[in-house]
Chain A
Amino acid sequence: MTETALTRPILTEAVKLALIARFTALADDEMILSHRVAEWTGHAPLLEEDIALANIAQDELGHATLWLGLRAALDGSNADALAYHRDAAEFRNVPLTELPKGDWAVTMVRQYLFDAWEVLWLDAARQSSYVPLAEAATQALREEKFHLQHTALWVERLALGTPESTRRTQDALTQLWPYALGLGEPLPTEADAVAAGLLPDVADVQTRWQRLVRGHLEGVGLSFPTLSPLPYNRQQHTEHLVPLLADFQRVAREFPESRVW
């Protein structure tokens, strides 16, 4: 993951900041979602799903550290300091990831929508002219494809299962869809980096993602809600992030003198 001759000439200060902003957004999405997914450990509806979800949670957290590593190479930041010593207002995850884990349908629909987005964004990022990003995207994509396979099948089984599971799955989609659209909002700083071929164009990814998830979910009988704009985005979080971070950062902040764990 070292800077190469290929990347050096194009990293202007503005582009560097755009990359840092995108890596932070990616890391925060993965870190917060991983935390939510891991809340199921020991409480899943099937023992096999305790195992599968713990696996997904580990992969997401592993990806978060991958993105934080790319950020650190640009600004020398420390992954644990960013995870444990930022306040909610400084987190840049989409509010979709911070919503409570809800029931199994909420967890699976959210994970499906997120995995589908990730697979498509990472696929596009493999073409980035910023080599460390292209390499990381290739690595993370392999795992995200497995997640997508798993969650796509779950959503299908729940949507086509019993009347109760159909109702719960539809409710989950109705609740989550407006939040999921936040994944496709471009970061305010990244237009130049996109034009220079360093970052994927989220508008393109958004189009492909909508086609994928609408095709799949409508194919199993679910319908998409009519939207009203949400007051939340990567800068404006829901009321759920503060208590989530109170758990996440509890021990680290309780013992501020102890920086090595």
Chain B
Amino acid sequence: MTQIHTAPASVPAPAALLTETPEQLAAFEARIAAGDKIEPGDWMPAEYRRQLIRMISQHAHSEVVGMLPEGEWISYAPSLKRKLILMAKVQDEAGHGQYLYHAAETLGATREDMVDALLSGKAKYSSIFNYPTHSWADVGMIGWLVDGAAIKNQTMLAGCSYGPYSRAMVRICSEETFHHKQGKEMIVLYAQGTPQQREMAQDALNRWWWPSLMMLGPHDADSPNSGVLSRWGVKLKSNDEVRQEYMNEHVPELLEAGLTIPDADMHQDEQGNWKHGAIDWTEFWAVVKGERGLNKERLGARQQAHEGGAWVRDALDAYAARESGAKRA
């Protein structure tokens, strides 16, 4: 759903491998500068490949784990229309995961390795999905804020230098726009609904506002992976720039809906930009590291689905082997 964060660490400069010549690197960087898309068979630095596999697979994992917090509310949706919409939305997340795994496969990664990395805890996913969902209004608020923030980030990534990732983002953004709309429509309705619905909507905003700001990543000064990714045209805007776009779109709309944003220091600057108060990053890093939130539960659910489904995948393999044997005979 969005970019991933690992704890701050010193960033090694992209070291060229012995097999990579300065001429190859210069030609590659010239293509990036000219706005070319890099395609799967093209020459690319090993570090570019490594960073993209890390980023795209973690993005895929986020989609897959992201099915869980909202998926559990399909059972409880309060109208047939909302039940249907939520089924479609969570199905889209699965589709995005599949699409992104394929994009990473174009770089030489395998689905099995990527899934193993997720299940063993080696690979990360967006920590936004480690927050619990407390009420039905959370489903709407996730659509409006979390998907809203994701769209800002993904619109930027749609312009990135790696062709398959860029095209995946174009397609995913168009579906995320629907997710964003249904979330906003729901929350605006509840914000003007019964006292119980209004209270539910405000409570959801109180809990999701700060995590949605933080999911766009650490401040630029503390963003460990940004240097290489900007240099090679993967990240075209900084975290703070994307966060500012997100604020400028969402703050006026939330206020217009009659909701209160839980930030006493929030204000508009002379240029009209909405500025947030100080962000409590200790909470963010605690959730990223799994010290807080539902990291254990989310991974546990994925592990259980994977292990519980092993006999099914074995049956598929056995059936396929039997069929191909029958064809050969």
Instruction: Name A residues whose Cβ lies closer than 8 Å to a Cβ of B.
Output: 31, 35, 38-39, 41-48, 50-51, 54-55, 57-58, 61-62, 64-65, 68, 79-80, 83-84, 103-104, 156-158, 160-162, 164-165, 168, 247-248, 250-252, 255, 257-258, 260-261
Question: Chain B residues with Cβ under 8 A from A48's Cβ?
Answer: 98
Most B CB atoms within 10 A — which of A31, A41, A252? A41
Question: Chain A residues with Cβ under 8 A from B267's Cβ?
Answer: none
With contact pairs A47-B64, A50-B67, A160-B322 given, residues A255 and B194 touching in the complex (Cβ less than 8 Å): yes
The answer to whether A251 and B68 have CB atoms under 8 Å apart is no
With contact pairs A247-B76, A251-B136, A255-B194 given, residues A162 and B314 touching in the complex (Cβ less than 8 Å): yes
CB interface residues, B 152-203, toward A, < 8 Å: 189, 193-197
Main secondary structure, interface of A, reads helix
CB distance from A105 to the nearest CB of B (A): 8
CB distance from A261 to the nearest CB of B (A): 4
In Å, the complex CA distance between A164 and B196 comes to 50
Question: Chain A residues with Cβ under 8 A from B75's Cβ?
Answer: 35, 38-39, 247-248, 250
Q: Is B11 an interface residue (CB 8 A)?
A: no
The answer to whether A41 and B315 have CB atoms under 8 Å apart is no
The answer to whether A161 and B94 have CB atoms under 8 Å apart is no
With contact pairs A160-B319, A160-B322, A260-B189 given, residues A47 and B312 touching in the complex (Cβ less than 8 Å): no
In Å, the complex CA distance between A162 and B195 comes to 56
Q: Is B207 an interface residue (CB 8 A)?
A: no
Question: Chain B residues with Cβ under 8 A from A247's Cβ?
Answer: 75-76
The answer to whether A58 and B91 have CB atoms under 8 Å apart is yes
> Which 9 pairs, one residue from A and one from B, show the smallest C-beta to C-beta distance?
A45-B309, A161-B315, A165-B315, A54-B91, A42-B67, A45-B312, A42-B71, A251-B78, A50-B94
Q: Which of B21-29, B81-89, B236-244, B276-284 contacts A (4 or more CB under 8 A)?
A: B81-89
With contact pairs A80-B80, A83-B80, A247-B75 given, residues A44 and B305 touching in the complex (Cβ less than 8 Å): yes
CB interface residues, B 296-310, toward A, < 8 Å: 301, 304-306, 308-310
Question: Chain B residues with Cβ under 8 A from A103's Cβ?
Answer: 308
Partner of A38, one of B74, B82, B306, B322: B74
12 A-B pairs within 8 Å (CB atoms) are namely: A35-B75, A38-B75, A38-B83, A42-B68, A47-B94, A54-B87, A55-B91, A158-B312, A162-B311, A164-B315, A168-B311, A258-B197
Partner of B196, one of A51, A160, A168, A255: A255
Main secondary structure, interface of B, reads helix
Q: Is B313 an interface residue (CB 8 A)?
A: yes
CB distance from B201 to the nearest CB of A (A): 11
Partner of B79, one of A42, A44, A157, A252: A252
In Å, the complex CA distance between A257 and B197 comes to 9
Q: Is B318 an interface residue (CB 8 A)?
A: yes
The answer to whether A43 and B305 have CB atoms under 8 Å apart is yes
Q: Is B95 an interface residue (CB 8 A)?
A: yes
The answer to whether A54 and B312 have CB atoms under 8 Å apart is no
Question: Chain B residues with Cβ under 8 A from A55's Cβ?
Answer: 91
Nearest residue, chain B, Cβ from A160: B319
The answer to whether A61 and B305 have CB atoms under 8 Å apart is no
Nearest residue, chain B, Cβ from A167: B311
Nearest residue, chain A, Cβ from B77: A251
CB distance from A91 to the nearest CB of B (A): 15
Q: Is B97 an interface residue (CB 8 A)?
A: yes
Nearest residue, chain A, Cβ from B83: A61
CB interface residues, B 95-113, toward A, < 8 Å: 95, 97-98, 101
Q: Is B316 an interface residue (CB 8 A)?
A: yes
With contact pairs A247-B75, A247-B76, A255-B194 given, residues A165 and B67 touching in the complex (Cβ less than 8 Å): no
The answer to whether A84 and B79 have CB atoms under 8 Å apart is yes
In Å, the complex CA distance between A44 and B98 comes to 13
In Å, the complex CA distance between A43 and B78 comes to 22
CB distance from A171 to the nearest CB of B (A): 13
B317-329 CB mask vs A (1 if < 8 Å, else 0) is 0110010000000
Q: Is B259 an interface residue (CB 8 A)?
A: no
Q: Is B142 an interface residue (CB 8 A)?
A: no
Partner of B71, one of A35, A41, A168, A248: A41
The answer to whether A261 and B78 have CB atoms under 8 Å apart is yes
The answer to whether B313 and A46 have CB atoms under 8 Å apart is yes
CB distance from A111 to the nearest CB of B (A): 14
The answer to whether A51 and B189 have CB atoms under 8 Å apart is no
Nearest residue, chain B, Cβ from A103: B308
Question: Chain B residues with Cβ under 8 A from A248's Cβ?
Answer: 75-76
The answer to whether A251 and B76 have CB atoms under 8 Å apart is yes
Nearest residue, chain B, Cβ from A153: B319
The answer to whether B318 and A162 have CB atoms under 8 Å apart is yes
Nearest residue, chain A, Cβ from B321: A161
Nearest residue, chain A, Cβ from B200: A255
In Å, the complex CA distance between A38 and B68 comes to 12
Question: Chain A residues with Cβ under 8 A from B308's Cβ?
Answer: 43, 45, 103
Most B CB atoms within 10 A — which of A43, A80, A164, A261? A261
The answer to whether B315 and A58 have CB atoms under 8 Å apart is no
In Å, the complex CA distance between A91 and B97 comes to 37
Question: Chain B residues with Cβ under 8 A from A161's Cβ?
Answer: 314-316, 318-319
